[in-house]
Amino acid sequence: MIQGTASSAGKSVMVAALCRIFRQDGHKVAPFKAQNMALNSYVTAAGGEIGRAQVVQAEAAGIAPTVDMNPVLLKPTTDSGSQVIVMGKAVTTISAQDYYKYTPNLLKTVEEALGRLRAEYDIVVIEGAGSPAEINLKAREIVNMRTARLAGAPVLLVGDIDKGGVFASLVGTLELLDEDERRYVKGFIINKFRGDVSLLGDALEFLEQRTHRPVLGVVPYFRNIRLAQEDSVYLDERPPASDGDLNIAVIRLPRISNYDDFDPLEAAGGRVSYVTQPAELNNAHLIIIPGTKSTVADLDYLRRSGLADAILARARAGTPVVGICGGYQMLGRRILDPGGVESPQKEVAGLGLLDVATEFEPEKSTRQVAAVPVLDGGLLAGTKDERLNGYEIHMGRTSGPDGRGVFRICETPRPAGYADGAANPEGTILGTYLHGLFHNQGFVRLFLANLRRYWGLEENGSPAATSKDQEYDKLADLVRGSLDIPRIYEIMEKGMG
């Protein structure tokens, strides 16, 4: 099991790396995280919703993601409440205080999911959440030491040295654990180090002498490996937009979700920025309103921040705008919520850039889909021969004069053949429910070529994209070269014996 001294210490990436390494070494391996809190989620082939990190880890392990890998997912709806998704399906929306009264009901679900994975795979690499030493949560948590005990799993504790204070964090975490919990911690990993590792020699020796546990390695800080991120904290740490000829402005909504939708745009030569100020839209070649867990609340944010007026002004001046999922809903004229599914407001005005209206429904649509473009003009010119793979996660139905369909859904686990999306007559304002749209390489190349042509930029093609497998192999090479992998195998073999 991989636990960390804090959120964003690098647990998810370390689990992905170990999954890849163990797979390379010939083992059948799967990831597991009992409970995840994230707005970036994914839909499995069976239609279940899980956290994005477990999808990345499953891909690194060379297997298809399933809901057993993340049996409990929390999607924050407010600062103190979340939608609770159990085994891939939304079951309730609950306050944080009430959730911790609810967690005992989830332990059996967690145990059964973990048991199925352990029966099928040689190795299960478990990820913790936040810190195992949060005193206010320890008695009620189901994702750190309680899971370690359940699995009888030795724990490797990861600390982030880039933020400073890593040695105090590692020692302090160990000190705050109960005596029975401490015995699970079998070693440390120092993560995100910049510089000469030899300079850490005395400090590493001190840590080992103080705790009687080995430091299993120091992993360098990296920027050149592309992995889908799950936590919006990443947007605070994200490096500046890369050099590219297209300025793509993604609105950073307070409850932004599935922002990994836009990673391929950067890989294909776009300069992607996540913006919070109206002035940041002035030089944009494309504005994207992304998905959100709270469409009405984030639409209100757009208006209060001045971003709504700036988006409308840029769109009237000819700047293309794309809305994905909740962003698509915002582009319409009205959002109706007669049943109070998302908000007490029964009706709110949208941005009015598309002549459609959305009505929220109690049942969430979660499914993988295949689609083909039906609009052959504007930003989608020449794309009609592309077959697209993506997924839907939404609780609304959108229709209207502009909503005759940008895409035709040709394959789903349910009856297919329905239309998705809306566009203005020029094909420069687009809305769709398709997450993962830009992960289709042929489509994204044509889309960006159309955008360059629209702005009169040189059609210089797009850089060759590396495959996910290449990125996971790069990650495994980096981590294998940084950690004492034979020692980790020894720890696993010995277990808690």
Residues tagged active-site: 325, 435
All residues at 6 or more sequence positions from 38 whose CB lies less than 8 Å from its CB, including other chains: 51, 52, 53, 73, 74, 75, 230, 231
- The answer to whether 333 and 349 are in contact (CB under 8 A) is yes
Task: Confirm if 365 and 390 have CB atoms less than 8 A apart.
Answer: no
How far, in Å, CA of 87 to CA of 82, rounded?
16
Q: Which residues of 448-475 are buried (b: 16+ CB within 10 A; e: fewer)?
A: bbbbbebeeeeeeebeebeeeeebbbbb
What are 4's two structure tokens? 């960390």
- 70 Cβ contact partners less than 8 Å away, ≥ 6 residues apart: 32, 33, 36, 50, 51, 54
User: What are the E-state strand segments in 202-310?
Assistant: 215-220, 246-251, 256-257, 270-275, 286-289, 291-292
Strand partners for 93: 83
In terms of Cα–Cα distance, which of 236, 241, 260 is closest to 59? 260
344 residue type, one letter: P
Token pair 């919520």 is found at 337
Q: Which residue has the tokens 């009205």?
A: 334
Closest CA to 371 of 445, 431, 433: 433
- Determine what percent of the chain falls in helix, strand and coil, rounding each to the nearest 5: 35, 25, 35
| Closest alpha carbon to 301 in 274, 334, 277 | 277
Assess contact for 2 and 127: CB atoms under 8 A. Answer: yes
Alpha helices (runs of H) in 340-462, residue ranges in sequence order:
441-455
Give the strand pairing for 41-43 and 49-51: antiparallel
Number of H helices, E strands in the chain: 16, 26
